[in-house]
Amino acid sequence: MSRIGNKIIVLPAGVSVSVADDNLVSVKGPKGTLSQAVDSDITVEVEGNELKVTRPTEQKRHKALHGLYRSLINNMVIGVDAGYKKELEIIGVGYKATAANNVLELQLGYSHNIFMAIPGEIKVTTTSEKGQNPKVILEGIDKELIGSVAAKIKSLRKVEPYKGKGIRFVGEIVRRKAGKSASKK
């Protein structure tokens, strides 16, 4: 029994869902439009302001796809209605970030600056207030795309466990290690 798959998705006001003949689900809302191809075995039904995802049998494959597609469609509904936002914090002396024309420039202690092109669907902004660590803010409607871009940015300078320097999500807790202990005499 898929608990996630059996949940009904309630569509907020201003969000409409259409299912094409080839099982292509399109979600349209105030922030934009997203579409997702759904496996031919899974059926998607729209009744009023509710959306239901059903599976034909109790096979393991169908159970897995049932929960997967329900989650993907729910993420699309939330994205076109409210949108998604991820904040990354850059910790380290001399580490900086600037954004212009969807190109993110990062200074992360390497001998060169890193220029990263951000997809057009994502809006990127940077903040650097005095006394605070610089932040990179990613906003958009596609949860999967924002997550993959944030992971790519984070991989450019992973957080090291001794001083805690690197790129991390705001609020992320990093396990710290004790350094070399003084020798005993």
77-95: pLDDT as tens digits: 999 999 999 999 999 999 9
Single pTM value for the model = 0.88
Of 154, 100, 106, the C-alpha closest to 134 is: 106
Mean pLDDT of the chain: 91
Task: Identify the burial level of 130 via C-beta atoms within 10 angstroms of its C-beta, where 0-12 means exposed, 13-18 middle and 19 or more buried.
Answer: exposed
Residue 185 has pLDDT above 80, yes or no: no
The whole-number pLDDT of residue 181 equals: 76
Question: Residue 179's pLDDT is what?
Answer: 81
Q: In this structure, are residues 69 and 39 in contact, taking their beta carbons and an 8 Å threshold?
A: yes
Quick one: three-class SS letters along 91-154?
A: ECCCCEEEEECCEEEEECCCCCCEEEECCCCCEEEEECCCCCCCEEEEEECCHHHHHHHHHHHH
Percent of the chain with pLDDT over 70: 97
| Helix, strand, coil in percent for the chain, rounding step 5 | 20, 35, 45
Domains located in the chain, CATH noted = 9-82 (3.90.930.12), 84-169 (3.90.930.12)
Angle at 155 between CA 152 and CA 160, to 5 degrees: 155
Largest CA distance in the chain: 79
Q: What is the pLDDT of residues 119-162, one digit of tens each?
A: 999 999 999 988 899 999 999 999 999 999 999 999 999 999 99
State percent of the chain over pLDDT 90.
74
Please give the pLDDT value at position 178: 86
